[in-house]
Chains A and B, each alone.
Chain A
Amino acid sequence: MPKYIEMPKLSDTMTEGTLVKWLKKEGDPVAMDESIAEVETDKATMEMQSFDEGILHRILVKEGEAVPLGATLAILLEDGEAPPADGDLPAAKAVAPAAASPAPAEQPASVSAASVTPEAATPASTERVKASPLAKKIARETGVDLTAVSGSGPGGRIIKKDVLAAPTGGAGTAPKAKPAPVALEDRRIPLTGMRRVIAQRLLESKTTIPHFYLHIEVDAAPLMTARQQLNAEAEATGGTKLTVNDFVLRAAVKAAQAVPAVNASFDGDAIIQYGDIHLSVAVAVEQGLVTPVIRGAQHLDLTGLSLAMKSLADKARNKRLTPDEMQGGTITVSNLGAYGIDFFDAIINPPQSMILAVGAIVKKPVVNERDEIVPGLRMNIGLSGDHRVVDGAVGAEYLAALRKYLEQPVLLLL
C-alpha cells in the first residue's frame, strides 16, 4: 500500500508551507523519523520527518513551491512494492483553499522526476571549490554556497570558520553582486512565508498604530573606550568579546527598568504593563528579517546578553530558531549601524509600543563645554513610540535614561 507524505502542521498558525529543500532523492530509502525535507512555515524553517519507512518513490512538490496543509508532497513505497498508477494520486487532498493560494501553482501531479531540478537553493556546484571536508559538510547542512565564500586557510582553502562566518542570508556582510542576467525581464517572485508575515504585520503596524518619532545623539566616546578595555581584557583571558550592539542592548534594558512605562502594549480597553523585559532584536537573514527574543533580558549582564545575542543570531542565520524564540518580545532594538546608516526611523513591532533605531557611530565635529569645535564620536538613536501607550514626554524620559547609560558605560556593568 503506497503511503502519501503530506504537508504537516508545524505551527499553530500555519495554513501552508513552502518546501525549501528535499533532503532525500527519489529512490532513497527513508527510515522512520528521518528528516526528509526542509519546510518553511510562517514562522521558521524546520526539518520535516517521515512517519513511515520505505523507499521515496516520487517527489510531487518542487523545491521552492508553497502548498496548503495536507497536500501530498511525495509517495513512499515499501521495498519491492509496485508504484500506484498516476490516476490514483490522492489529488483531492492537494486542492488548496481557493482564495488563499498566492503561489502561481503548478499542479503537483504534473511534476515529473526530470523537472525536479534543485536550482536556486543548491550549494553544490560543478566548479571545484577548495574547502576542508568539515567546511563542505557544514556548508551542505546549513545551505551556504561555497563558491561565494572566500577561504582563510592555506592557499585560500575554505575552512570551518569561513563557512560559519559566511552569510546563509544577507546578514553580516554585504551581499555579493551577482552578474546581471542576459535578458532583463521582469520576474514574478512568489512570496516566502517570512516575506508575507513581514508584509502583513508591518502594514498593520504602520496603518493602525499612531507612530511618533524622537531622536537623540549620544556621545559614544566613553562607550568605545570601555569596549576597548573590556575586549583587551577578554582577549587576554579568553573571555567574551563585546560588540557595540551588546552595550546598546544592555542600555536599552536598563533604561526600560528606569522607565517601565515603555515596556507595555495597547490592548483595546487597557494597557498591559509587562513585568519582564523580553528584548526582540532585529536580525537580517537570507530572505528578510527575523526578531528573535532574549527573554528576561533584565536578568542578564553584559556578557550574558552578548552570548544570548550571538547564539540567537547564529540560529537565525542557520534557520534554527524555534517559534518560541521568536515570540513574546516586549521591546525591539534594530541596529543598522553595521550597514553604515547614520539614523533612521523604525516601524513598531506589534503588539509592542516601542522600537529603537540605532545608527552607526560616526566621527564628526562637536562643540565641547569650552565652546571649541573638536572631533567627537557620536551615535544617533531613534525611538518610535505607539502614542496610545507612550507619550512624547515618556519617550523623552526613556531616551534620557538611555543616554545616561550609554554615556556612562561603567553603569552597564552593574
Chain B
Amino acid sequence: MSQYDLIVIGGGPAGYVGAIRAAQLGKKVACIENDRAGGTCLNWGCIPTKALLKNAELYATLKEKAGDFGLSFDNLSYDWSKVIGRSRKVADKLAGGIEFLFKKNKVDYLRGTGALAGTGKVTVTAADGTVATHEAKHVLLATGCRARDLPFLKFDGKRVLGAREAMLMPEQPRELLIIGAGAIGVEFAYFYNAYGTRVTIVEMMDHLLPVEDTEISQALEKSFKKQGIQFHLATKTTAAQVTEAGVELTVEPVKGGAPVTLKGDACLVAVGVGAILPGGTEKLELTERGFVKTNDRYQTNLPGVSAAGDLIGPPWLAHVASFEAIHAVESMFDPQHKSKKVEIFPGCTYCHPEVASIGLTERACKEKGIAYKVGKFPFQASGRALAAAEPEGFVKLIYGEQYGELLGAHIIGAEATELIAEMGLAITLEATHEELENTIHAHPTLSEAIHEATSDAFGHAIHI
C-alpha cells in the first residue's frame, strides 16, 4: 500500500494532464490506466483518425487533382494495411511520450483497473488479477466514455462497429453504412469514401454536423454530395439485420414516410457515448443522462473525489477534458483557486473540407434574442486558397450588433481547424471587430479571410 496526495483513475487527456499538473504543484501522484496512456484521444480517437484522414486527403488530392498540378502517373494504388499501420505507429509513438512525461514528472504509472474502495482508498486490479490498495487524500476520476450502440444493433467488432473498430478494419469494406453524422460519422465517411468505399450516412437531425451553424452544414452537404457520399437526413434507423455477409438497415423519415432498406458490408454506429464509471462500492451521483455529476469545483458527491473529462458529460472533447482536469486539480490543492467551467470551446471536424467553429451559431443568437451582424468571406476570393487549389468553403463570423464583440466564428474549408485558434483568442479576450480589423493579417494567407469577413460584417470588406 502506498499513500498519495492524488490518485487519478484514467490516463487520457483529462487524467494524464491532471496528474502532471498535480505533480508540478509538488504533490505525490499516481495515475491508473487499464489500457494505454493517452486514453481514447491518443489511441482510439483524435490522433489515429487524423493520421488516417491525412492519408485519405493525400490520396484524394493525387487521384482528383494531380492533373491540375501537372502530375501524371500510372496505376496509383495503395496498401490498406499500411494506411492503417501508419495510423497505429503515430498513436504508439505518442503513447510512449506520455509514459515519458509521467517519469519526468515523477508520477507513478499504475497499470490496471482502478476502483473506489471507501473514502481515501483506491484499489488497482492488474491484468493478472492481483489487487493492490492505495490511500489518497484526493481522487480524480477521468475514466472517460465509450461508444454507445443501439438496442437492435450491438457492437460485434466485425459488422457492427464503433469508432475504435472502424479505424482498425483489416480489410477495406466495399460498402459502409454510418449511423450518426456528428464529427465521428462525418470523418469516417470522408475517409472511407476517399478510398473508394461506397458510404451512406443516416442522420436523425436535419443536417450533417447538426450542432454546427446551418449554413456550414449545408455547405458540407453540397461538398459531400459532390464527393459521392450518400446521406439520408431527418431519417431514423428503426431496425437492423446482421448476417455473415453484412448489415441491412431499415430506415424511415423522422416525419413519417415509407421505410427504405440500406445494405452494407459493415455499419459504423456513431450515435454518441456513455460514461465509463469506476468500479467500487461507492455510490456516485449521476446526471439524468448518466454522466458523473460535479459542482463548480469539479467535486462529485463523494468526499475527496473529483471528476473531469468525458465522463462528466458533453462536450466530449480532449481539449475540454484537459482544461477541466487542470481546474479540478488546482481547485483541490488551492482553496483560493477560481475554478472555471468550460463555456467557450472550439469544435473541429477533420473531413475535407474541414469544419471548425467556436461560440454562438446564428441559430443560437436568434433563439437567445441577441442582436447580431454577420460577415462572410468565401475562400474562392482568397489568393492563398486559389494558389493552394483549395477554393472551397468560407468564413462566417457573428458579431454583437451593439458593441461589435465577436460572438461566434464558423469556418469551412482547408485548414479551418488551424484558423479557429485566432477566433478563440478573440472571444476569450473579449475582442471587438475593431481589434480584429486593426490587426494586420499577413498576405497571402487563409487568415486574411477572417479579416475580410470581419470587415464585411460592418459593411466595408475590400475584396468582395
* A and B are interacting partners: yes
Which B residues touch A135, using CB under 8 A?
430
Which B residues touch A133, using CB under 8 A?
405, 429-432, 434-435
Query: Is residue B246 within 8 Å, beta carbon to beta carbon, of the partner chain?
Result: no
Interface residues on A, range: 10 to 19
User: Please, what's the 1-or-0 string for A119-155, where 1 marks a CB less than 8 Å from any CB in chain B?
Assistant: 0000000000000111101100100000000001000
Which B residues touch A284, using CB under 8 A?
none
Query: Is residue A159 within 8 Å, beta carbon to beta carbon, of the partner chain?
Result: yes
Min CB gap A381→B, angstroms: 34
Task: Write the chain B residue with the least CB distance to A153.
Answer: B430
Contact B403 A137 (CB under 8 A): yes
Query: Is residue A160 within 8 Å, beta carbon to beta carbon, of the partner chain?
Result: yes
Q: When the two chains form the complex, which single residue of B338, B429, B432 contacts A137, counting CB atoms closer than 8 Å?
A: B432
Contact A138 B403 (CB under 8 A): yes
Which A residues touch B402, using CB under 8 A?
141
A373 to B434 CA separation, bound complex (whole angstroms):
64
Contact A132 B403 (CB under 8 A): no
Which A residues touch B304, using CB under 8 A?
none
Min CB gap A353→B, angstroms: 37
A interface, over-half SS: helix
Query: Which residues of chain A in 21-52 are interfacial with respect to chain B, using CB atoms and an 8 Å cutoff?
Result: none
Min CB gap A132→B, angstroms: 4
Min CB gap B115→A, angstroms: 28
User: Please, what's the 1-or-0 string for B156-186, where 1 marks a CB less than 8 Å from any CB in chain A?
Assistant: 0000000000000000000000000000000
Q: Which of B403, B405, B430, B434 has the most CB of A within 10 A?
A: B430
Min CB gap B301→A, angstroms: 13
Query: Which residues of chain B in 342-374 are interfacial with respect to chain A, using CB atoms and an 8 Å cutoff?
Result: none
A133 to B435 CA separation, bound complex (whole angstroms):
8
A135 to B338 CA separation, bound complex (whole angstroms):
20
Query: Which residues of chain B in 419-435 are interfacial with respect to chain A, using CB atoms and an 8 Å cutoff?
Result: 429-432, 434-435
A134 to B430 CA separation, bound complex (whole angstroms):
5
Query: Is residue B404 within 8 Å, beta carbon to beta carbon, of the partner chain?
Result: yes
Q: When the two chains form the complex, which single residue of B338, B404, B430, B434 contacts A132, counting CB atoms closer than 8 Å?
A: B430
Which A residues touch B405, using CB under 8 A?
133-134, 137, 160
A135 to B403 CA separation, bound complex (whole angstroms):
9
Contact A141 B429 (CB under 8 A): no
Which B residues touch A137, using CB under 8 A?
403-405, 432
A133 to B427 CA separation, bound complex (whole angstroms):
11
Q: Which of A134, A135, A138, A141 has the most CB of B within 10 A?
A: A134
Which B residues touch A134, using CB under 8 A?
403, 405, 430-432
Min CB gap B109→A, angstroms: 32
Contact B430 A159 (CB under 8 A): yes
Min CB gap B295→A, angstroms: 9
A387 to B39 CA separation, bound complex (whole angstroms):
75
A141 to B434 CA separation, bound complex (whole angstroms):
16
Which B residues touch A152, using CB under 8 A?
338
A135 to B429 CA separation, bound complex (whole angstroms):
10
Query: Which residues of chain B in 280-322 are interfacial with respect to chain A, using CB atoms and an 8 Å cutoff?
Result: none
Q: Which residue numbers of A lie inside 8 Å of B, CB to CB?
A: 132-135, 137-138, 141, 152, 159-160
Q: Which residue numbers of B lie inside 8 Å of A, CB to CB?
A: 338, 402-405, 429-432, 434-435
A-B contact pairs, 19 of them (CB 8 A): A132-B429, A132-B430, A133-B429, A133-B430, A133-B431, A133-B432, A133-B435, A134-B403, A134-B405, A134-B431, A134-B432, A137-B403, A137-B404, A137-B405, A138-B403, A152-B338, A159-B430, A160-B405, A160-B430
- Which are the 9 A-B pairs with shortest beta-carbon distances? A132-B430, A134-B430, A134-B405, A137-B403, A133-B432, A133-B435, A133-B431, A160-B430, A134-B432
Q: A134-B403, A137-B403 are in contact. List 18 more A-B contacts (CB 8 A).
A: A132-B430, A133-B429, A133-B430, A133-B431, A133-B432, A133-B434, A133-B435, A134-B405, A134-B430, A134-B431, A134-B432, A135-B430, A137-B404, A137-B405, A137-B432, A152-B338, A159-B430, A160-B430
